[in-house]
Structure 1
């Protein structure tokens, strides 16, 4: 039996109350630095996903500010105009979300950001805490350092290099693929588990995502017909060669949802900053799947530059098709998240951008699967 239908991106659950940004819960106050007094909470507009506010406070006689975000969930916002105060201000990002799924969102993000911060502390805002509110236990929050950021894409030299550095230096503690707990793509939970091979991890978690997609969008015969050869031919053909005949890959810590809205540049250091992580220990090239999407401003030039710092895995000739496979999984996730928009299934311009077309292209290209490829090797 398939999972319960995924709520739509627009109506995942009721909006958190505006009161959540007008009044700071006691549990959240406990997570702030000692001797912090919040003097006022000023609502600061709304967005498609969030309600936001600026917290004006003092800490040991010094003016400080915090940024409060009520999230449904959403990418981390850049600081609102006037919210940063002076350079000595301490700014903190706070996200709150509703329900058990909200708990998974903030818990998974905290674990992900912590794992990245341990290895490369300048790459992410320092995570501080996550928890549930005292006055409304069904409301959950994520608290982190606030880094002043500038809009626009990060430098094409520095950003791919930093991501390659993360992927090389942060590897699975026991050599397996997966993660310690579920993380969320938007509000879609991914239960990673732990797997001995990348193929096993990818097939297991992707099959579950297809179940979510069919439940969210409704049964689609084209997808159902393509699933069997997709799993029996395409996935083994493109992933098994990575870990057979003396070849191997090391599970790397990835961000997990690295589109241009989750990347910025630190205003002080001019170094890249990433946020809203949904991590796992994966094939490092999986990080680049979302960089194939035409809507993502981190595109082909960034992929090419990344591979100058982290060359493609063997077999090198499969690299682009592996990237197309990973992008197809991103299409599945987006089709779940935007359940009210069937364009993620049907549109075909460009072909690799949409779920059915991207599946069909791979299925038609690899009808013989791994065994046919293996038989042609000398």
Structure 2
């Protein structure tokens, strides 16, 4: 976890020096084996979330300019989202990479809470039908999908406004090179303060990938990963969060899998804000 964050923040800072704190080192504490540390600059922050247009400009610039060193999706070190280690093995296929990533977080949530009616079946259907339908077209028909540097855990708790510069600065990163839209899956969650205003400002600077008509369903799909992580980490919220996950999976399965899911007319937007 400490090594992954060290390399994540170092990578962001090498690209955008004012957008992440300087990290100085990580390692194991000599006096308490098995306990690790990370040393970075102290951040004196204003207690408010950044302006939507300003944050959207910085995040979209990171996505535009943060090129994968291998030309593939992944990262050169394991990184953690919370306590869950992400499978960052390099892969040229985004659909395959995201399916592997989502499965790790599904398995982590199942290990903590066990099954609920319909969840296992819905996830199996999602993997077989909805994920390929939504993600394979991104790299089909001659389309090239750029692996972009993403923060990986970008919500209002991991970004602040510097007292010194009065500009946004991010921390607690779990980076990878991913489809840039993946970053915004976190912003769909109801407990995140980056509402539709932030998303709209971002899309003005970096429009949806083709096919554009799949944008909202891709965003819903990406949000499922972040909701699985929330459920696995925040036990008191798991019942509500898992209901959102199941509703989202059933919604996508109805649209993209034969004889599966729930009708799109059913209200399943409880984790999306206007």
Please give the alpha-carbon distance, in whole angstroms, between the structure 2 residues aligned to 1:309 and 1:324: 20
Q: Is the 8 A contact 1:131 1:140 kept in 2?
A: yes
Query: Which residue in the other structure is 1:125 paired with?
Result: 21
Q: 1:365 aligns with which of 252, 255, 261?
A: 255
* 1:178 aligned counterpart, secondary structure: coil
* 2:118 aligned counterpart, secondary structure: helix
Cα offset, 1:344, TM superposition: 4.1
* 1:264 aligned counterpart, secondary structure: strand
* 2:32 aligned counterpart, secondary structure: coil
- Greater than 2 Å deviation, 4+ residue runs: 338-342, 344-347
Please give the alpha-carbon distance, in whole angstroms, between the structure 2 residues aligned to 1:344 and 1:192: 29
* 2:80 aligned counterpart, secondary structure: strand
Query: Which residue in the other structure is 1:147 paired with?
Result: 43
**1:270/1:174 Cα in 2 relative to 1: closer, same or farther (>3 Å)?**
same
* 1:130 aligned counterpart, secondary structure: strand
Q: 2:220 aligns with which of 309, 312, 324?
A: 324
Query: Which residue in the other structure is 2:149 paired with?
Result: 253
Q: 1:185 aligns with which of 81, 97, 101?
A: 81
Query: Which residue in the other structure is 2:90 paired with?
Result: 194
Larger relative contact order (CA 8 Å, sep ≥ 6): 2
Q: Is the 8 A contact 2:227 2:242 kept in 1?
A: no
Please give the alpha-carbon distance, in whole angstroms, between the structure 1 residues aligned to 2:112 and 2:218: 26
| Structure 2 residues without counterparts, runs of 5 or longer | 260-274
Q: 2:106 aligns with which of 210, 215, 218?
A: 210
* 1:291 corresponds to 2:181: no
235-244 or 215-224, larger mean C-alpha shift = 215-224
Query: Which residue in the other structure is 1:171 paired with?
Result: 67
* 1:177 aligned counterpart, secondary structure: coil
Please give the alpha-carbon distance, in whole angstroms, between the structure 2 residues aligned to 1:228 and 1:175: 30
| Structure 1 residues without counterparts, runs of 5 or longer | 1-104, 348-353, 370-378
Please give the alpha-carbon distance, in whole angstroms, between the structure 1 residues aligned to 2:137 and 2:107: 27
Tell me how large the CA RMSD over aligned residues is: 1.5
* 1:232 corresponds to 2:128: yes
Q: Is the 8 A contact 2:230 2:241 kept in 1?
A: no
Q: Is the 8 A contact 1:188 1:337 kept in 2?
A: no
Q: How does 1:1-378 map to 2 (within 5 A)?
A: 105-339=1-235, 341-347=237-243, 354-368=244-258
Please give the alpha-carbon distance, in whole angstroms, between the structure 1 residues aligned to 2:28 and 2:255: 49
Greater fraction strand:
1
Tell me the matched-pair count.
259
Q: Is the 8 A contact 1:217 1:340 kept in 2?
A: no
Larger C-alpha radius of gyration, 1 or 2? 1
Q: TM-score, normalised by structure 1?
A: 0.66
Q: Is the 8 A contact 2:232 2:238 kept in 1?
A: no
Please give the alpha-carbon distance, in whole angstroms, between the structure 2 residues aligned to 1:123 and 1:284: 17
Q: Deviations over 1:312-369 (max 9, x none)?
A: 100111111110000111111111112454324444xxxxxx2111111111121259
Q: Is the 8 A contact 1:254 1:282 kept in 2?
A: yes
